[in-house]
Amino acid sequence: MGMPKKGCDIHGVLIVDKPEGLTSSSVVCGLKGWFKAKKVGHTGALDPMATGVLPIVFGEAAKYSQYCLDSNKGYLARIQLGTATDTLDADGVVVAKKAIPAIDETILKLVLDALTGSLMQVPPMVSALKHKGQRLYKLARQGLEIERAPREIEIFSNELIGFEAGKGWLDIRVRCSKGTYIRSLAESIGQSLGTVAHLSRLRRDFAGGYSIDQAKSLRTVESVRNKGVTALVKLLHSPDTLLSHLPRINLSEHECMMLIQGQKVSGNGRGVCDTMRAYFEEASFIGLVTVDSGGDIFAKRMLSPAAAGMRGSSDIGR
């Protein structure tokens, strides 16, 4: 099946292994052009220097992208000690140098342990956060420095996986909450060791329940380009894989259609739950629902009938 002349409806999640040097937006634009998809987006950008897991959402899967954006993340990072940059990473201009004190595995592990748990972190100026409607990184390019309030983050694990004292770098494996900036963590590690530092390499190996083992290179994705949409769909994960951490509820076809049409259905004594994954006949995901204190089920964020694969639909992204 070739590509249609007009945009086509594709629904699902493609896990891309983003290469170094590309922006996340350019990956999205490239995929949208390759497959003539009507709607394509990502679930949390990676910096151009970073590589790794970049979930790309097609069609109705975009309705649930926030759940992946809000999820925990995992990174493999290399931190270069002794040199600081204006962006806190290897893409920036060197702004400071400082001698590196003697370090060994014991010292490094103590520092990493101290930077584990609930922490307050000041977001870097070069970030996508907004100030009065403008991205901070755009203001930084103008030479502006905006005061940023520290934010609470959680670093679940901060593991040393390698270092070379002579060259002044260390490799770490981090598991953290949303909103954690590894560049800022690199800066903090340098300060704790009595020197300066910047992030010299970053690879995201986990995001929203997806691992690097599931990611496809752009070369692999491009190889199915000439085979058409059907070949692409075989690479996609279903939209509900963005929501695997949520409880599920199985419903009849009649109940599903009522919910999709905006009507409530009886919860039959089910407990209160703010957000549940709803399924038709234990198989087809139809969207997110809420069960209130009265036992009634209400639609929260539903797929269209076609995307849900309900009767009469022949949509490709079922």
Tokens of 23: 């922006």
251 three-class SS: strand
Helix pair angle (105-114, 182-192), 10° resolution: 120
Active site residue 47: yes
CA distances (Å), 139 to each of 89, 96, 125, 191, in order?
Answer: 17, 21, 8, 25
- Torsion, Cα 193 194 198 202, to 10 degrees, reads 0
How would you classify residue 62: left for phi > 0, otherwise alpha for psi between -120 and 50, otherwise beta? alpha
CA distances (Å), 299 to each of 203, 238, 250, 263, in order?
Answer: 37, 19, 14, 8
Catalytic residue among 47, 89, 205, 240: 47
Containing 279, the helix (H) or strand (E) segment is strand 273-280
Catalytically active residues, by annotation:
47
